[in-house]
Amino acid sequence: MLMQAALLRGLFSAGANVDIDPNGVISSSGAIGAGSSIDALQVITGLSSQDLVAVSQSGVDRAISYSNFLDGITIDQAQAAAPATDADWLWVAQGTNVMTRQTFGAIWSWLTTRVPNYKPPVVEIATNTNLDTTVHNGRILICSQPVTLTPLTANMGNGFQCEVINASSGSLTLGTGFVTSNGSLALTPWQSATLSCVTYSGGTVAFASMPTAGAANALPGQVVSVSNSLSTSSTITVAWQAPSSGGAVSSYTVQYRPTGTSAWSASPLVVNATSYLIAGLQPSSSYDIFVQAQNATGVGLPSGTLTAVTTAASTGLPAQVTGLVANPTTSSSVQLTWSGQTGSTAATSFTVLYRVTGTASWTSWTSGVAVTTSTISGLLAATSYDFEVEGANASGSGPASPIVTASTPVAAQSVTSIVWNVTPIGPYTLGSGAIGINAHVSPATSPIQFGFSSSPSTPASSWTAAILVNTDLWGAYVPLPLTSGTYYAWAEGLDGSAATASATAFVVQ
């Protein structure tokens, strides 16, 4: 049905800002909702992609979704920028959350004022360590013990680099996997190297830039006093004294050959020991032997040639050594005890050998031991070692004992330097008592011990603990040696660190 417009108009009346014309057309004559303000609206704290935003398009009020308002653009959709320049802008907030702009050039100027004050972190290493980028990259590694650093290239990563300083009293070893600039894998005390890991077309390599020879890195001197401490039908145990001149020694090599032949055989590197057991020899045979010391700079002069003879073959070899027990006594020493033997083929002496757990080569600590105990010193702190003992008699060496493993404890209060203050002058009368000696120690609170040795290169075999006199001065009254002769005073930390001999000797008569 139809209704006349006049009747329709009677049903409605115009309101504020609303007009109805004679034809019934309703229109706005002003702002609808006049008098409302934006602060009267509900406040929200976030927007979703489908929320609407008011816009004006060509003079007409419209609404657009928030996602379309941003045009949906992400960083991977943005237009690629030209190469960065100093004039490019970055967003920054200075003092408030109000965003302002800053140029690359201004940021670089700020960085240049900060770079000179940057100092790379320092990491102290006292145990054998696998290099890792999260701990060692960009650092200075100061090694306070003669440790081994092993490159794990998967953990180091391309571009890894660090500096390493050997602050220990022994040789720092770069583990298998390193390529070095001078062909050596050892750093002598107070040498440094730059370690890097790089990946290139030839693969991934761990590289060490090592020191070259110079006045501060001299070749070791000549090894002296090479002797045959024990022969069996298949072994010769060689002992020697360290060079008294030249650069610090990191290791030794023993060369040997049957007398009258020309081809020499070489032992593995002998580290932290001055004796070596040559095995696999022929009975009743003569051998020529010499020893050379080496360090990162190179190899020193060969010692004089020793000629030694193995004993005749016999079936009366000693039985296997039993009852071996290893007891760590300090962070650098382990005491071994084992059972003695009886009977016609009993061992008359013993050879003590050790190695770092997981390695293949054994080091002969001592041979010709007539008792059933021996203390191995000069070991690395917090390191696991394997030990075995062989018995020997006139017929040769018997089978080694079952391997026993023990770990040295972590070093505590290691000494970095000892400077003598009062040393023995002499001469002294045999059996006349004790001698007062003292020295300055760093760190000042690290305890030390004193002893006497007949050698300036071999530490004392017995020690007297020192007491703190004042500040950094430690002293003790040390009993005179029980035999007459020429002696040197020695001092070292309780863990064997910074072993130091006096410059001059004294006489007991």
Q: The CATH number of the domain where 426 resides is what?
A: 2.60.40.10
> Tokens for 396?
């040769």
Q: What is the mean pLDDT of residues 490-497?
A: 88
Of the three residues 375, 407, 439, the one that is the final residue of a domain is 407
Residue 26 to residue 419: CA distance in whole angstroms? 108
The Cα–Cα gap between 355 and 383 comes to: 11
- Most confident region among 21-35, 249-263, 404-418 by mean pLDDT: 249-263
CATH number for position 139 = 2.60.120
Give the pLDDT band (50/70/90) at residue 216: very low
Pairing of strands 178-180, 203-209: parallel
Residues 373 and 451 in one domain: no
Higher-pLDDT residue of 403, 68? 403
The residue that leads in pLDDT, 34 or 104, is 104
Structural domain count of the chain: 4
DSSP state of 212: P
**For residue 141, what is the enclosing H or E element?**
strand 140-143
Judged against a pLDDT cut of 90, whether residue 232 lies above it is answered with no
Q: In the predicted model, is pLDDT for residue 29 greater than 70?
A: no
Q: Among 341, 311, 338, which Cα is nearest to 325's?
A: 338
Residue 245, pLDDT score? 77
Q: Does one domain contain both 497 and 426? A: yes
Q: Which of 6-10, 187-191, 229-233, 310-314 is the least confident region?
A: 6-10
Q: What is the mean pLDDT of residues 398-427?
A: 87
> Which of residues 184, 209, 234 is at a domain's end?
209
Is 96 domain-assigned? no
Cα–Cα distance for residue pair 253/275, rounded to 1 Å:
10
Residue 188: its H or E element: none
pLDDT at residue number 426 = 82
The answer on 428 and 402 residing in a single domain is: no
Higher-pLDDT residue of 241, 169: 241
Task: Answer yes or no: is 503 within a domain.
Answer: yes
Concatenate the DSSP letters of all residues of 270-330 into one string.
Answer: B-S-SEEEE-SPPTT-EEEEEEEEEETTEE----PPEEEEPPPP-S-PPPPP---EEEEEE
Report the pLDDT value the prediction gives residue 214, as an integer from 0 to 100. Answer: 43
Q: Which domain covers residue 393, as residue numbers?
A: 325-407
- With respect to residue 174, please indicate whether it lies within any of the assigned structural domains: yes
Quote the Cα angle for 449-454-460, to 5°.
25
At 153-206, the pLDDT tens digits run 989 999 999 999 998 877 888 988 898 887 778 887 788 999 999 999 988 999
DSSP string, 160-179: EEEEEEE-SSS-EEEPTTEE
Domain end position, chosen among 166, 186, 209: 209
Which residues are CB-contacts of 328 (< 8 A; sequence separation ≥ 6)? 334, 335, 406, 407, 408, 409
Residue 212: band (very low, low, confident or very high) from pLDDT cuts 50, 70, 90: low
Inside any domain, residue 318: no
